[in-house]
A = this chain, B = another copy of it.
């Protein structure tokens, strides 16, 4: 799956992913339901996402729906999540499910089946949420999440394992010095090693999440983990910009996909793009994505 992502990034000359993290505050007034209910909000989220995906096709090779934003609205929210994934695949986006799951044994297997693989129904099997990549948490160890790797191998899917997250408090655990190294580096090295069997060309289907808000850490991790592709959150709303990201890329200008959520999907609310007006929120998003692509590309290539 990683080759498919890399090919699409090259084709569109765009190492960016649109974070589809809908919130009521980000909906343009025309999409806010008159009567608020879990159902009406779920429907509005899908309508919002659909317009955004229509506008971003060709500009962003991938989308990253954050499942929490849908889970908040219960079953109707999760229906919107599922419809969003299906529509994204129809439009040709690579789909990164930001689920941050992680458990042990048969439980990890159940999550992997749900989000990446297929579920057995007697003789036949069917996909469920069917993303291309999922984010996972390694606190339970690689043994705990081994079923995810197996499903990736069987179904040609990929993972991004949390290594160094973008939030200020990520230091609390991730920066602890353990055996002479910060913990995030130990986790990163485990990911690099664990991803070995799923290497295709330069990179493995097993990637890592590395926050854009830590430029030096990103550069150090790029050196240490030469075959691990990075999913990089924290651009824009969380404060990082293109010049912070140069070190995350490899010498060929590859190895990274940078996420922006609010910065793209909420662009119509920002002073720079308010000229578009609320009705043209999807065009504002497209322009914000083009600007982001330009900001990143001009710093790496």
Contact = CB atoms under 8 A, between A and B. Distances in A.
Interface of A: 21, 23, 36-38, 41, 66, 68-69, 71-75, 77-79, 82, 100-108, 110-111, 113-115, 119, 121-122, 126, 128-129, 137-144, 146, 162, 165-174, 176-179, 183, 186-187, 190
Contacts of A111: 68, 71-72
Given A21-B107, A139-B173, A177-B178, A128 B74 contact: yes
Assembly stoichiometry (copies): 2
Contact of A173 (B77, B129, B167, B187): B187
29 contacts: A23-B106, A38-B121, A38-B128, A66-B110, A68-B111, A69-B110, A71-B115, A72-B110, A72-B113, A72-B119, A74-B114, A104-B166, A137-B139, A138-B173, A140-B162, A140-B165, A141-B167, A141-B172, A141-B173, A141-B174, A142-B169, A142-B172, A143-B167, A146-B169, A173-B187, A173-B190, A176-B178, A178-B178, A178-B183
The residue in A105, A128, A139, A141 that gathers the most chain B C-beta atoms within 10 A of its C-beta is: A139
Contact of A143 (B115, B122, B168): B168
Contacts of A138: 139, 173
A286 to B, nearest CB: 24
A39 to B, nearest CB: 11
A74 B194 CA distance: 28
A161 to B, nearest CB: 10
Given A128-B73, A183-B178, A170 B106 contact: no
A171 B138 CA distance: 12
A190 B128 CA distance: 37
Contacts of A172: 141-143, 190
A71 B113 CA distance: 9
B122 A139 contact: no
Nearest to A162: B139
A36 B176 contact: no
Contacts of A141: 165, 167, 169-174
A174 B144 CA distance: 12
Contact of A68 (B107, B122, B167, B171): B107
Contacts of A114: 68, 71-74, 77
Contacts of A178: 176-178, 183
A72 B102 CA distance: 14
Contacts of A174: 139, 141
A198 B144 CA distance: 31
A138 B114 CA distance: 23
Contacts of A137: 100, 102, 137, 139
